[in-house]
Amino acid sequence: MKKMLIASTSTLYQGAYLDYLLSDLEEFYKGIDEIVFIPYARPGGISHEAYTANAKKAFERIGKKVVGLHRFDDQIGALKEAKAVFTGGGNTFLLVSQLYNFKTLPVLRERIFEGMHYFGTSAGSNITGVTMQTTNDMPIIYPPSFKTLGTIPFNINPHYLDPIEGSKHMGETRETRIQEFHTYNTIPVVGLREGSWLAVQGDQITLKGSLSARIFEQGKDAYEIDPESLIKF
C-alpha cells in the first residue's frame, strides 16, 4: 500500500527548512530510523553534499538519520533496501534527468507501490504525478522523457499562486499556463498552495493543511476543494 506525503514546499515564509511539517513527518516516519535523501534537484545549484546537510539538520530534530542517495555506489540497490525516501525540491528538469541517468526512476516507482514511505517537496512532488509537464521550473537540461513516477493519477502544480487583484504584471498566470497544458493534455492538475500537502494511503488521497487546493480538468472550469477533502477523478 502506498504511503506518501506530497508537499507544495519545504519552507514557509520566514520558517526553517521543513519546520511546518515536522510533527506530521515524525508520525509519518514512525518506526523508521533512516531516510534516503534524493538531492538531485539541487536548488540554486548547490552541491549534493550541501543539500543533504540541510535535510540532515531538519530530520535530526525528530531523531531521524538521513543519508544522501549520491553516496551509494549502487543506487538501485540502495533504493531496493530503503524503508523511506525523501526527494527535495529544486529544478524538476534536473531531478528527472538524473533519475533517468542513474536508472532509478523505475525502482523508485516500484518501491512506492510496495509501501516504502515516500515524502516529496516541490520538484520531489512534481515527480509523483503522471508527468512533469506542469512544473514551474526552467528547462535547464533536457530529460529523456517528461514521464515521471505516476504514483498518483494526476499532475501537481506546486507553489500554486492565485492572480493578484490590481497587479500590473502582464505575464501569464498559473491558471493560464495550466489551461495551455489542457489544450493538448487530458491529465488533471492539482494546484497546491504553499503550506498544503497531500497524504496518500493506498488509493486514498487527502488534501492536508489549512488552505484549499485548485483543481483543473480539461474542458471544465477550475474549482476549489477544501482541506481534508478526498481527491478523486
Distances (CA, A) of 112 to 58, 71, 210: 23, 21, 27
Pure H helices in 3-104: 22-28, 48-60, 75-81, 92-101
Distances (CA, A) of 170 to 96, 134, 176: 31, 20, 12
Distance CA 196, CA 6 (A): 9
**Close Cβ partners of 224 (under 8 Å, ≥ 6 residues apart):** 212, 213, 214, 215
β-pairing verdict for 197-201 and 204-208 = antiparallel
**Amino acid at position 167, single letter:** S
Pure H helices in 61-203: 75-81, 92-101, 105-114, 123-126, 174-184
Active site residues: 122, 137, 159
How is the beta sheet containing 189-191 ordered, strand by strand? 155-157, 189-191, 213-216, 223-225
Distance CA 8, CA 204 (A): 18
Residue where the block lists cell 509519518 = 28
